[in-house]
Amino acid sequence: MLERSQLAANALQALHDEDYDVPFNTQSLNHDGLIFMGGRQQTSMNGDWTFCVDLLDTGLRQKWYAMLPEAPENRTEPWDYDPYMGETVPVPSNWAMLKEKWYFFEGSAWYTRPLDLDEIDGTKRQFLRFGAASYDCKVFLNGEFLGNHYGASTPFCVELTGRLKPGRNWIMACVNNTRTRDRVPMRNTDWFNYGGLYREVSFFETSKSLIRDFFLYLVPDGTYSTLRAEVTVDGPELETARLAIPGLGVTLDIPVDETGRGKLEFSARPDLWSPETPTLYDVTVRFGEDLVTDRVGFRQIERRGTDILLNGEALFLRGISVHEDDARLGKVTTEEDLRRRFADARDLGCNYLRLAHYPHHERAAQLADELGFLLWEEIPVYWAIDFANPATYRDAENQLTELIRRDRNRASVIIWSVGNENPDTDARLTFMQGLAETCKNLDPTRLTSAACLVNHAQNRIEDRLADHIDIIGLNEYYGWYEENFEDLAAIGVNSNPDRPVVISETGADGVIGEKGPQKGLFSEEYMAEVYRKQIGTLRQLDYVKGMSPWILYDFRVERRQNIFQNGYNHKGLIAADKQTRKKAFRILSDFYHQIAASEEKAREAS
């Protein structure tokens, strides 16, 4: 911590230092530091944190993080912010949702709170875990910088071992949501730039030896009879980790090598997980004193020609896209919100959701596992990205790795998507190919996809990326952005994909209530008509193996400001109140229920 006399000198120096942030942009908090969390006891760090927005980055320049707590009357130098007093905000939250004057704020904000510990157990290791911080988060403990994380939607851990003292410790986080060219996403998106610590923060302890990573899956060889377990451990050397799956009568030792990795394949015949029978097995792994648990489903997803098969059976993905957005809470996700989301998807007749355009709260995939929904998960390689910049690639690959490591035990997740509507350049191809390979290296049990491009002159699907992914995602807005609806039928005829196509987006804005027009663009009626026509055309294309129209709920976005939009994208089948269903809801639900009924009939007949 800074001595008092240093503060004034530091304040002057800070006025002229334009490289003040360089030492902090380390990205040292990344996938390497992630820890498998299943079943771990955690102390919640949610609740009130003192808070201050800091447009000019005065805090980093003046080193606010190094100030000691002091009563104002005892301070001997003037100060621009006291992290230990003043306004508080709840964590998790997005500052835009807390005060009108913070609504459009983009920049740094400081969060401070105490961590009180009676004593420090020297036989243990201590960590903080942040569920997500948007976008850049620099973490400090008792005035010391511990590292920085990039990426708005994936978790990260910070090790505190050896740095804590008995009694009061201070945690500080500087969270910055500035949109810059080298980030993922870049500067322009069609969703609101919610800043803040908007997912749970927790403190936890482990033994010296710990399980960092655990991946358990059905080997996708078509026999449905082999499971593979992979662990990564760290800490004092032990030779084995013990795996138990009581429901399968499995208790086995996984040998661990000197690098801390272990892998084991064994025979088992689990009941298979599917949306109709979402069977999950309780699993535990012990490594020394460290114990983690999970609930894991086993299934095989594959593509064969233009088919997508789940457990050997061809299926149609009856989906809907969804953002993480709430009129009152912003990007903060609650259990109630997630359960409503799945209930609405169920009413719609869905067996599948596209979680757009970034990793959603980890609870989403846990619930999908339990309730029986298939998921597309995605990282925000969205629109313009600085594809030629190695730093951008590092960021994207790290976010992808964090997402995969967080969710790869979730049977519900069947697709990793590596990008959305990016221009077809060589740099983009190399970038996205690299990401698709990363998916396969980290996870042999899922398909890859991306929202690909159409050659509008020739009216056919054409994207060099398509050769490097399993499913061609297609965002098409015929009847909305693309006026000539007949072109969709032409694309259908002119395209001859060798792999399945999933319509990852389609739709139209429909504004309801007094402000909504009665007819024409932005009317509920027009939107319904687009759905009718889309369904009429798409149902005839035999290589279209699923769809996730845009979108379940209306969502907030800065760039849409016409008199009907008012800062919202109104393509939701349900309005922003998450209650009022528009006419198009019924049209899609009739279609999906029909498909489900005929699949059911076929199943009964076979």
Which residue among 325, 402, 421, 463 contacts ligand GCB (CB under 6 A)? 421
- Nearer to ligand GCB among residue 412 and residue 475 (C-beta): 475
Rounded to the nearest 10°, the torsion over CA 475, 478, 482, 485 is 150
Reference 421, options 457, 472, 470; nearest CA is: 472
Q: Are 228 and 217 in contact (CB under 8 A)?
A: yes
Supply φ then ψ for residue 582, to 5 degrees: -90, 170
Phi, psi of 492 (to 5 degrees): -55, -45
Q: Which residue lies nearer to ligand GCB by CB, 285 or 355? A: 355
* 354 or 361: CB nearest ligand GCB: 354
Rounded CA-CA distance 326/552 in Å is 12
Q: How far is the CB of 550 from ligand GCB (least distance, A)?
A: 5
Q: Is 136 in the site for ligand GCB (CB under 6 A)?
A: no
The answer to whether the bond into 551 is cis (omega within 30° of 0) is yes
CA proximity to 24, closest of 115, 161, 150: 150
**Rule CB under 6 A: is residue 417 a binding residue for ligand GCB?**
no
Give the shortest CB-234-to-ligand GCB separation in angstroms: 39
Which positions from 224 to 263 touch ligand GCB by CB under 6 A, shown as an x/- string? ----------------------------------------
> Mask 340-359, x = binds ligand GCB (CB under 6 A)?
-----------------x--
The amino acid at residue 85 is M
Minimal distance in Å, beta carbon 569 to ligand GCB? 5
Q: State which residue, 386 or 505, has the beta carbon closest to ligand GCB.
A: 505
Complex with ligand GCB: residue 357 or 361, whichever CB lies closer: 357
User: Measured from the CB of residue 501, what is the shortest distance to ligand GCB in angstroms?
Assistant: 16
Nearest to ligand GCB of 190, 205 (CB atom): 190
* HSE-up (13 A, CA, CB side) for residue 6: 9
- For 591, residues 6+ apart whose C-beta sits below 8 A from its C-beta are 349, 535, 539
> Could you say which DSSP state residue 574 is in?
B
In whole angstroms, give the CA distance from residue 349 to residue 11: 60
Q: Are 236 and 209 in contact (CB under 8 A)?
A: yes
Inter-residue long-range contacts of 338-345, CB under 8 Å, 24+ positions, other chains counted: 338/363, 338/364, 338/367, 339/367, 340/578, 341/552, 342/367, 342/368, 342/371, 342/373, 344/552, 344/574, 344/578, 345/320, 345/373, 345/552
Residue 505 makes contact with ligand GCB by CB under 6 A? yes
The binder of ligand GCB chosen from 420, 448, 523, 537 (CB under 6 A): 420
Nearer to ligand GCB, 354 or 405 (CB): 354
- 365 near 324, Cβ under 8 Å? no
Nearer Cβ to ligand GCB, position 126 or 475? 475
Instruction: Please give the size of the binding site for ligand GCB, defined by CB under 6 A.
Output: 9
Do residues 357 and 191 lie in contact, with contact meaning Cβ atoms separated by under 8 Å?
Answer: yes
Q: How far is the CB of 446 from ligand GCB (least distance, A)?
A: 21
Contacts (CB under 6 A) with ligand GCB, residues 178-207: 190
Q: How far is CA 416 from CA 46, 330, 423, 497, 575, in A?
A: 30, 25, 20, 20, 28
Helix (H, G, I), strand (E, B) or coil at 212: strand
Q: Does 325 bind ligand GCB (CB under 6 A)?
A: no
Q: Which residue is nearest to ligand GCB (CB)?
A: 190
> Considering beta carbons, is residue 27 or 565 the nearer one to ligand GCB?
565
Instruction: Output 58 or 475, the one with its CB closest to ligand GCB.
Output: 475
475 near ligand GCB, rule: CB under 6 A: yes
Encoded one letter per residue, x for contact with ligand GCB by CB under 6 A and - for no contact, window 555-594 reads --------------x-x-----------------------
Question: Which residues, 350 to 409, sit near ligand GCB by CB under 6 A?
Answer: 357
What residues make contact with ligand GCB under the rule CB under 6 A?
A: 190, 357, 420-421, 475, 505, 550, 569, 571
